[in-house]
Structure 1
Amino acid sequence: MTTTRGRAIGQGVTWMARWSLRLLLVGAGLVALGWLIGALWSVVLPVLLAIVLAALLWPPTALLLRLRFPPLAAAATVIVAGVVVLGVVIAIVSASVSGSIGQIVDSAIAGIAAITDWLSGPPLNLAQSDLDDALRQVTEQLQQSVTSIASGVITGVSGFASGVVTALLTLVLTFLFIKDGPRFLPWLIRVAGPGAGGHVAEVLRRVWRTVGEFVRTQALVSLVDAVLIGAGMLILGVPLALPLAVLTFLAGFIPIVGAIVAGALGVLVALVTNGFTTALILLVIIVAVQQIEGNVLQPILQARSLGLHAAVVLLAVTAGSTLFGIAGAFLSVPVAAAVAVVLRYIDEELIRRTSPAEPPTDEAPVEPSAGAERSPAGD
């Protein structure tokens, strides 16, 4: 039967309208989901952080379980050991910072004096009176902003209290996840059935494996970066080398952006305290370490790639930091990797269901019931 031109155009418009409506509904659902996450961010953030920490702490927990530790004792031992290590690191970093504050202040004062001399000399030739007037204006502006500064301090105290609550909630959730996590997938399959429950369990199992590999690999790579860059700072005599090394380790969990920010801060401290030559040498060291990380460590240590393009990673970090600040930047890549895992599973199911060789089925492969030594996602 021959289709007329008008009918063909009408069918195309109908198809476009139908899919446009579907996309609008999907977009509305995503907007609603984003609004819900923002409204419940005080709950969502501890859960996401606890999942990341549980993925990082699961290997020692699994080792204790293989040594016949009860789940409660294994989880408690790992959590207590982690808190002790974190406390020791904070104490060492605090001592290092307090011992170097005087040197940093003196160097900053000398740097300001050098800048003042440069401004008063050629080619700008600014008069000392002009510099004094500018300084007086800045001082008056600060005095007029006392109320704003005070309110900012109050807001900071409130944010600190909220951060303490979030940290405690994250710690408790992490303990519960690594203690009771292996029971979750069997319970989910039993409640939802082998159809939907099997699909969800398989997706969660893959997400857990991917996020765990990412977190552990990034932790190891970040540790190597922090040790090498920190050693370079110590050799060059840069103050605050230990705090900057710890910051480098933490920034390593934010791909691309974290390395740039941590490196720039280290170079800035070296420039203010040790001069241009030391800052340039440190910059070369940081660039060399980053090249070793990107071209040697990552390919060797990351046995299974996340399958995310660098542009996707950069966009994910940008979106996460814009929407949810530092926590969003930290969690953006694991979340993007989890979304990629879900999309890959959907693609596999579409291929399997549309393949002429196999009839479609609603069943998903379900592994035997998880034992005590399996990961929270059933690995």
Structure 2
Amino acid sequence: MNHARRSQISPRTVWTVGLNALALVLLALVLIRLRAVFVLLAVVLFVALALDPLVRWFQRRGLNRGWGVLVTFLGLLGLTALLGATLVPLVVQQARSLVQSAPRLVAEVRTWEWTRWLEQRFDLERKVQDTLAHLPDEVAESLPGVVSTTVNGVVVFITVLTLSLFALLFGKDLYEQALGWVRPARRSGVRELVKNMHRAVSGYLVGTAFTVTLGSLVTALGTFLLGVPYFLALGSLYLVLGLIPYIGSFLMALLVSFTTLTTVGLNRALIALGLFLVYQQVEGNLIQPLVQRHSIRMNPLLISVVLLMGAALMGLIGAMIALPVAAALQEFLREVQEEQRERWDSEREDGSTGPGDTAPREPAARDGDTHDTAGRAPH
């Protein structure tokens, strides 16, 4: 009796379960510590996928892949240098113009009736003076952090370019080696799945390029009509800030308003701010969901939810990579759903009870039973 009631869980089973649980905890901790590396690798993958069509275009023109990758990266670096050479002088000149025109702007703002009311009610003049008195100290304290962030940004940029270069040159060989771990019977299906995921991510990148280009044209045209002399530089800057979903358009609205303020006056700056805030809403809630729905075949509501989740998890980088990751994952889930549907159809054809079957099955006849019982008399 004692032997019958003794637990059948052996010490070896307990140790096995405990060690497996410990291994899972350690793996989770490692993944959390390496989260920044995974995000960086995701960015590298998307940059490589974005540049791959251009490399293939050079290959179709007679260049081998190595030379195509080199020409593509030289062009990318040249475009980055051109944007920097255009935008940095703009920022310096606009800052100088703002400092020079600050007394005139302050005097004009103080003549407004609602400004005088706010000043009398909340003592704004004294608060502004106190803030300006402490501003140099606050800027000096934050300067090391700004320099450190800038240096880290430059290092990350160089790392992304280098790894993207390696991905374009040697990624195909690594992909073929990884397929060696897949059973031969499933390799064609895996290749098709990877091809669909590649198409989905490329579609997202094309959709993003279209949205950013449209925003750049709207920015350049709007500032040109308002009389801002730097409309080409502002349109070029949208090509960078526009990559940030939702927030990029809002930042461009502030920048355009600031530039308009320092060049053509306050009234046109308010008009520019209103116009670009409206465009930000139109782009974020209409253009971008519709374009991405066409390119990655994803529901607009799901697109908005994915963007919010990516931003909540990893900030701006998460918002930028959330949609391509979701597009690739959607293709994988679609493939799994198709296999499951084929399995259900096969079960129905075999006569087994599927999810939609409600009628019970007839029991199978045993050996020796008479199948023709219609004419057998009852006992």
- TM-score > 0.5 by shorter chain: yes
- Are positions 1:311 and 2:301 aligned together? yes
Q: Which residue of 2 aligns with 1:190?
A: 180
For each residue in 1:75-114, what CA deviation from the matched residue of structure 2 results, as whole angstroms up to 9, or x when unmatched?
1121112111221121122233333333233444433333
Contact 2:234 2:256 in 1 (8 A): yes
For each residue in 1:160-180, what CA deviation from the matched residue of structure 2 results, as whole angstroms up to 9, or x when unmatched?
222222111111111122222
Contact 2:257 2:272 in 1 (8 A): no
Kindly provide the amino acid, as one letter, of the partner of residue 316 in structure 1: V
Question: With CA pairs under 8 Å and 6+ residues apart, which has the higher RCO, 1 or 2?
Answer: 1
Counterpart-to-counterpart distance in 2, 1:354 and 1:111: 72
Kindly provide the amino acid, as one letter, of the partner of residue 49 in structure 1: V
Residue 279 of structure 1, aligned match among 267, 270, 292: 270
Counterpart-to-counterpart distance in 2, 1:50 and 1:354: 39
Residue 170 of structure 2, aligned match among 168, 174, 180: 180
Q: Which residue of 1 aligns with 2:105?
A: 111
Counterpart-to-counterpart distance in 1, 2:338 and 2:167: 29
Q: Which residue of 1 aligns with 2:340?
A: 350
Aligned residues: 326
Kindly provide the amino acid, as one letter, of the partner of residue 47 in structure 2: L
Q: Which residue of 2 aligns with 1:57?
A: 51
CA positional deviation for 1:330 = 1.7
Aligned-partner SS, 2:180: helix
Kindly provide the amino acid, as one letter, of the partner of residue 75 in structure 1: V
Q: Which residue of 1 aligns with 2:223?
A: 233
Aligned-partner SS, 2:51: helix
User: In 2 relative to 1, CA 324–307 (structure 1 residues): closer, same or farther, beyond 3 Å?
Assistant: same
CA positional deviation for 1:56 = 1.8
Aligned-partner SS, 1:191: coil
Match runs of 1:3-152 below 5 Å: 38-118=32-112, 122-124=116-118, 126=120, 130-131=123-124, 133-139=126-132, 141-142=134-135, 146=137, 150=140, 152=142
- Gap runs ≥5 in structure 2: 1-23, 351-379
Counterpart-to-counterpart distance in 2, 1:184 and 1:334: 21
Per the normalisation by structure 1, the TM-score is 0.70
User: In 2 relative to 1, CA 122–281 (structure 1 residues): closer, same or farther, beyond 3 Å?
Assistant: closer
Residue 333 of structure 1, aligned match among 311, 319, 323: 323
Kindly provide the amino acid, as one letter, of the partner of residue 315 in structure 2: G
For each residue in 1:242-264, what CA deviation from the matched residue of structure 2 results, as whole angstroms up to 9, or x when unmatched?
44323322333334443344335
Identity of aligned residues (%): 21
Counterpart-to-counterpart distance in 2, 1:79 and 1:320: 29
Larger radius of gyration, structure 1 or 2?
2
CA positional deviation for 1:288 = 6.4
For each residue in 1:125-150, what CA deviation from the matched residue of structure 2 results, as whole angstroms up to 9, or x when unmatched?
6299x55532453356557xx4x755
User: In 2 relative to 1, CA 109–327 (structure 1 residues): closer, same or farther, beyond 3 Å?
Assistant: farther
Aligned-partner SS, 1:207: helix
Contact 2:253 2:272 in 1 (8 A): no
Q: Which residue of 2 aligns with 1:3?
A: none
Q: What is the aligned-residue RMSD (CA, Å)?
A: 3.9
For each residue in 1:207-258, what CA deviation from the matched residue of structure 2 results, as whole angstroms up to 9, or x when unmatched?
2211112112321331232023212202312365344323322333334443
Aligned-partner SS, 2:260: helix
Kindly provide the amino acid, as one letter, of the partner of residue 85 in structure 1: L
Aligned-partner SS, 2:346: coil
Aligned-partner SS, 1:192: coil
Aligned-partner SS, 1:356: helix
User: In 2 relative to 1, CA 302–317 (structure 1 residues): closer, same or farther, beyond 3 Å?
Assistant: closer
Counterpart-to-counterpart distance in 1, 2:160 and 2:302: 28
Kindly provide the amino acid, as one letter, of the partner of residue 77 in structure 2: V
For each residue in 1:21-55, what CA deviation from the matched residue of structure 2 results, as whole angstroms up to 9, or x when unmatched?
xxxxxxxx89x76x655522442233222222222
Aligned-partner SS, 1:254: coil
